[in-house]
Amino acid sequence: MTSTAAGTAPRKLDISKLLIESRAFLALALIIVIFSLLSPNFLTVNNLLIMSSHVAIFALLSLGQLLVVLTGGIDLSVGSILGFTAVIAGFLLRGVPISMFGVTLYPNVPAAVLIAIVLGGALGLINGVLVAKFKVAPFVATLGMLYVVRGFALLMTNGRTLNDLSGDEALGNTGFEWLGFNRVLGIPAGVLIMAVIALVIAVVLGRTTFGRWLYATGGNERAAQLSGVPVRSVTIWVYVVSGLCSAVAGIILASTLTSASPTAGNTYELTAIAGVVIGGAALSGGRGTVRGTLLGAFVIGFLSDGLVLIGVSAYWQTVFVGAVIVVAVLLNTLQYGRPGKASRAGRKTGGVGTPGGPGEAGGPSGPRAPSDPGGSSESAGPAEPAGPAGSAGPRSPSSD
């Protein structure tokens, strides 16, 4: 006896959908091929490592930005936090005068780095509290932080760059340049740090309850609340992590240059957003992956460095990067539909959308809204991979 179950019919391979979902990878491959033909030095091992160390800065900012975007928010302060934490580290390494006692303290490198990173997390905490507790729009809250933090950096340095951060052996504050220049097994330390942070974030998003909460918050905040997701705490923590990633990027950049400029990271917030968008994340929230974001950061980094290598004007570089961002947003619209439509559909069904990424199934499914709002709320069970984009919509709160 044979039976044919509904929905088991073979699906036709949709080439256009496959190309859209794999856009970041295809763009990176195309960039590598084109610049390899235009310059014989582009694909050398040494040049690839140098470009990767540049990409590490963008990738760290984009990874922090990804978490914020997954909740439906945005963080415009990442570039300013990068510059400010670099200045803080440089200020500490050059000595902190205490006029009351007539002495100058010279913290060692680990202490200076730790203080700068903690400060970055604290600034992210302020952003998170403004957004989650006081309901300030993410754009406004982080834009204000952008100006405040940049202003403090300029005040601390009088607008000057802090040079020569290599330290003095007699003072015990040497070794700051290790993060920027040293290599482990031939790989720049900054690239390894970026890889470790990316791996941790990928595990958190794909294997933990917090990751499911995060996707659920961005997919449908109301349904997530009904399901018992601590939306406020999730929102605050993603901004904290974004601040920490920005601070780490600032430390690596200052270590590479052995100097700290108060204007470092200017417009980097736009680069971070571009990396997330090119990687296939939806700015409306709930969709995006670490793999896609890394590919997006490499697309921007390799494109910028490749244009420099073949002697293209810096002004044209801005034009090319901007064009890539516009195309990426257009492709996102084709893949996910307009944000307005998605949000209206989510409100009608009350379900939590499942995240998706370029060329792969979406992240873990978020918790489902209970069919009886008066009953107890429980988090969802183990993560289930979503189908291809467009095949799985928001889940109804009454479905089980």
Concatenating the DSSP letter of every residue in 182-216 gives: -EETTEEHHHHHHHHHHHHHHHHHHHSHHHHHHHH
Give mean pLDDT, residues 224-235: 94
Q: Is the pLDDT of residue 388 over 80?
A: no
Q: Is the pLDDT of residue 123 over 50?
A: yes
Cα–Cα distance, 370 to 222 (Å, whole number): 12
Give mean pLDDT, residues 113-129: 97
* Whole-number pLDDT of residue 164: 83
Higher pLDDT, 144 or 94: 144
* Whole-number pLDDT of residue 95: 83
Task: Place 22 in a pLDDT band, splitting at 50, 70 and 90.
Answer: confident
Higher pLDDT, 146 or 358: 146
Hey, which of 56-60, 89-93, 321-325, 391-395 has the most confident mean pLDDT?
Answer: 56-60
**Most distant CA atoms of the chain, gap in Å:** 94
* Whole-number pLDDT of residue 31: 93
CB 380 within 8 A of CB 366: yes
CB 360 within 8 A of CB 202: no
Phi, psi of 360 (to 5 degrees): -150, 165
Task: Place 17 in a pLDDT band, splitting at 50, 70 and 90.
Answer: low
| pTM over cut 0.85 | no
Q: Report DSSP state, residue 173.
A: -
Q: Is the pLDDT of residue 239 over 70?
A: yes
Task: Place 320 in a pLDDT band, splitting at 50, 70 and 90.
Answer: confident
* Whole-number pLDDT of residue 352: 44
Give mean pLDDT, residues 31-46: 93
On average, the pLDDT of the chain sits at 82
Give mean pLDDT, residues 91-103: 82
Task: Place 16 in a pLDDT band, splitting at 50, 70 and 90.
Answer: low
Going by C-alpha positions, the residue among 176, 178, 194 that lies closest to residue 61 is 194
Q: Is 360 helix (H, G, I), strand (E, B) or coil?
A: strand
Q: Is the pLDDT of residue 206 over 80?
A: yes
Give mean pLDDT, residues 142-156: 96
Q: Is the pLDDT of residue 134 over 50?
A: yes
Q: Is 104 helix (H, G, I), strand (E, B) or coil?
A: strand
Q: Is the pLDDT of residue 94 over 60?
A: yes
* Whole-number pLDDT of residue 321: 81
- Which range among 96-100, 143-147, 316-320 shows the weakest confidence by mean pLDDT? 96-100
Going by C-alpha positions, the residue among 336, 364, 335 that lies closest to residue 352 is 364
Give mean pLDDT, residues 112-135: 96
Give mean pLDDT, residues 246-252: 96
For 336-387, what is each residue's pLDDT tens digit? 766 555 444 444 444 444 444 433 334 444 444 444 434 443 434 434 444 4
- Which range among 124-133, 276-285, 293-302, 378-387 shows the weakest confidence by mean pLDDT? 378-387
Q: Is the pLDDT of residue 53 over 70?
A: yes
